[in-house]
Structure 1
Amino acid sequence: MVIGLVLHTGHRARFAEAARTLTGVEFTWAVYEHEEQIRDRVRDLLASEELEGLLLGLVPFARSRDLIPAGLPVAVTRSAALDLALAWARARGNGWPATPVSIDTFTHEAVAEVASALGLDRSAIATLPFDADQPVDEVVAFHRHQLATTDARYVISVRTGVAAALDGQAAVLHALATPGTIRADLHDLVLRIRRRRADEQRFAAAVFRTPETGTRAALRRALQDVPELADAWIEEHGPRGVVAFAPAAVFETLTEHWVTTPVRWHNSPDDEAGGLEAVAGFGIGPSARGSVALAEQAADRAEQDGATSAYLITDDGVMIGPMGSGSTPLTYTYRGHGGLETLAGRAGLSPATLSRLAALERSLGGRSISPGELAEALGITDPSGRRLIRKLSDAGLVVAGGSTQPHPKGRPARLYRLAIAQALAAGDDDSSGGDPA
């Protein structure tokens, strides 16, 4: 397994420490000194290595996002609330007052959470959240303004360019991601890559149906003549159908990554009808029976098109189709949401994860949810739930909705309202009114 790491030259020791706990993984490094070098470093990395994953920070991701191939697993590591708290602890260790202070990159919510936990005056903390389109000069100007208009003695920053620009003008405390934070993101990336490998090796089912009864034997023979299905298990299924079992990768190759479908075969050179027509449904599920059930649903959907067609349905709620050159362009959908694949890519999440979140949003009916409740609903850990909330917040897919205190002695938990349906609707509006190119 080869993973690319994109980082500032001053952060290499942190990333090396985080990567030390992993074996069986080869790392290739793209190291930059100035932000202007990021795109060239990432371009060279992608051109020279057979990467299976990419780990990079907020700034490198913002600068090179359009260069990253679709489908490449990516983890964007970012400083956590703990890293901000540690920076404040270093300030107190230096004998500096906790406030006033000027902070960049962290969200208002993260700063408020840490300030509340430390009992700090929130009004004496100036915060400039990360903006992918904001040059470092503007971040420096923000800090200079705060230093000139308040009694702030230092700056807390995540960006190395800020520290270089303010050298000699003010003390800068780095709130960089700790090796532990980086390690957690790296382990999560490795697990996603391994799950992806496992998915490629999973067995899948395909159900092929002809329009009329009495033709399934010919359909079975035609399928047995397809070279890609030489090792597949094929048998007749129902009055008009044939079912085939093979690794999911076999069907992916057969359909050219779920774009085309082999649903027309010639029975013989003298066949006046021009060949044997059939619809196809593919299913990838947790078991053979589950895969067949999904493949049957996909075949039902293909028959609704009234023409030679094919669909794929997976157990995580993703549907792909219709396939074939004569069909409308390929789309990924989840219960009617055609823009989910694009939105997932913009948010740095998998379509499956965003599909589950969209389903959760519908079940909530507009009710706000805490990061802990989100984690419980998705079956993930609380820290993963908080990281997911931050990702959704950065992508504009959640809206802050107050706070709750379920236990009298506990710390209040912030609430968020999912806004995925609204973002999908906005995407549909943009696509319908924009330039088709």
Structure 2
Amino acid sequence: MESVILKYPEFSCVPISYWHDDEIIEKLTTYMQDVDMWLFSGQIPYWYAKKWAGIAQPMFYVPSSGSSLYKTLLHIAYHQKISFNQVSFDTFHPSELERVFLESEITHEPLYLKHYEGEIHTDEVVRYHYELWKKGKTMAAVTCLKNAQYKLKSLGVPAFRVLPAQSAVVSTLALIRQTHETLHFKDSQIAVQMIEFDSFSSLTKDTYSTDEIYKIEIKMTEKLLEYAKKINGSLKSAGPGRYVIFTTRGLLQEMTKDFTVVPDLAVLQLTGNNAVTCGIGIGQTAYEAEINAGTALLHAKEYQKGSSMVVFDDNTIEGPLGQPEQITYGFASEKLQSLSEQTTLSVTTLSKLESILRKIRKMEINAHDLAQHMNIMPRSARRILTELESKGLAQVVAEENPHPRGRPRKIYRIML
């Protein structure tokens, strides 16, 4: 992989090696700030990183197939004289290996294959090959993992590794370059931050006067100018207590840690905790971004005073920023529009519900959990669920009683 990458001067390569799966996350953390993209030599470290979810940069891995697999099979057949029905494989999808055997006119079918989705511990792969060899069912192992090959050889198992083919590395580099160009375009998109603050929140009964409010607004403006300078933005007043900052997506994305935390606004020091409500809009034009920022502000106010929401250029809404229960939902689809017409529920409510179910990765939920995710009262959540049930879009599938003296909670299966 390194030898191929060196042929492309636009890439700067930082090689990172590991011997044990437990080292993967530690290694990634060490180099987190030094890279723009991650390229893994195989899918095991890739899936470990994906499951960890601590990486914000795009990730890729080079598939172990193509010419390098044919080369390995040729070596086994021609030099080692081993029959393919006595060889164990790992990583490959069954259909992929069957296709390779068919194209190579190999009469045997691949009998022993350890296929896996997602992450798997290297020791499990080693154990699979070793047990087959130990029982005399196989004479060799074909693996895509460097560490597995090393361990198998130390156990006496003839092990052959399928290396990433040069063509596969080149194709992956092309995909990385294309992704970089797309991200660069996104970074330069226009972003508008619409900020609304409550001037009265920092007043006491003794200090209430128009002069005091005016002083607070002057201080607010000074702090916002400092903040706008940080993100290379331009600050505009949009009426009493409301300001608009024009900047670019990349700078704002960095400031909010990929739209997960509330922007570091110095004005928060001058006001109460819930005094500043914020809407962020992304768009291809300043007009589109400003419209989206206004929409985001309305959603933030609807959720809770002092919240921050984002509306992207694809009309998806994300937030509230800084909250553990942050969700992403979209504007009206034809399906949700139709369901809204069948019920008394708004498209936004249905969209949020759909997003929550996608986030928790199941279709069952009770009113208490729904209320927690939506930041609404439990009785409002019960009303949503009973409305869906009355229209045949939900059904009670179980009950749970978390508190012995409390009322049992109905669990609904949602069928949007």
TM-score normalised to structure 1 length: 0.57
Determine the C-alpha separation between the residues in 2 that align with 1:316 and 1:115: 44
Correspondence 1:31-430 to 2 at 5 A: 31-32=17-18, 35-36=19-20, 39-40=22-23, 43=26, 46-47=29-30, 50-52=33-35, 53-56=37-40, 57-61=42-46, 69-94=54-79, 97-99=83-85, 101-118=87-104, 120=106, 123-130=109-116, 132-133=120-121, 135=123, 136-144=125-133, 148-149=136-137, 154-164=140-150, 165-166=152-153, 171-193=158-180, 195-209=182-196, 222-223=220-221, 225-226=223-224, 227-230=226-229, 231-237=232-238, 242-252=243-253, 258-260=260-262, 277=275, 279-316=277-314, 318-323=316-321, 328-329=323-324, 331-335=326-330, 424-426=360-362
Displacement of 1:47:
2.9
1:195-246 Cα distance to aligned partner (Å, 9 max, x none) = 445544443112335789xx9xx97994464111145333455899543311
Match of 1:398 in 2: none
Determine the C-alpha separation between the residues in 2 that align with 1:259 and 1:316: 21
1:264/1:275 contact within 8 Å kept: no
Change beyond 3 A, Cα 1:145–1:123: farther
Change beyond 3 A, Cα 1:298–1:158: same
Count of aligned pairs:
322
Displacement of 1:90:
4.0
1:219/1:276 contact within 8 Å kept: no
Determine the C-alpha separation between the residues in 2 that align with 1:234 and 1:318: 25
Determine the C-alpha separation between the residues in 2 that align with 1:63 and 1:276: 38
**3-state SS of 1:31 partner:** coil
**3-state SS of 1:103 partner:** strand
Q: Which runs of 5+ in 1 are unaligned?
A: 1-14, 337-358, 363-419
**3-state SS of 1:27 partner:** coil
Change beyond 3 A, Cα 1:168–1:255: closer
Change beyond 3 A, Cα 1:179–1:91: same
TM-score normalised to structure 2 length: 0.59
Change beyond 3 A, Cα 1:170–1:75: same
Q: Read off the aligned partner of 2:59 and give its amino acid letter.
A: V
Determine the C-alpha separation between the residues in 2 that align with 1:63 and 1:305: 35
Change beyond 3 A, Cα 1:62–1:248: closer
Query: Could you say what the CA RMSD is over the residues aligned between the two structures, in angstroms?
Result: 4.8
Structure 1 window deviating more from structure 2 (296-305 vs 112-121): it is 112-121
Correspondence 1:10-29 to 2 at 5 A: 15-29=1-15
Change beyond 3 A, Cα 1:47–1:90: same
Displacement of 1:318:
4.9
Displacement of 1:284:
1.7
Displacement of 1:107:
2.3
2:318/2:326 contact within 8 Å kept: yes
Determine the C-alpha separation between the residues in 1 that align with 2:358 and 2:306: 34
1:312/1:321 contact within 8 Å kept: yes
Change beyond 3 A, Cα 1:154–1:129: same
1:134-189 Cα distance to aligned partner (Å, 9 max, x none) = 5144133244167x23xx65432223455443579665443221122233334434
Determine the C-alpha separation between the residues in 2 that align with 1:292 and 1:223: 20
Q: Read off the aligned partner of 1:233 and give its amino acid letter.
A: S
Change beyond 3 A, Cα 1:288–1:92: farther
Change beyond 3 A, Cα 1:122–1:285: farther
Determine the C-alpha separation between the residues in 2 that align with 1:255 and 1:313: 14
**3-state SS of 1:28 partner:** coil
1:292-323 Cα distance to aligned partner (Å, 9 max, x none) = 23212212211212523221122245533224
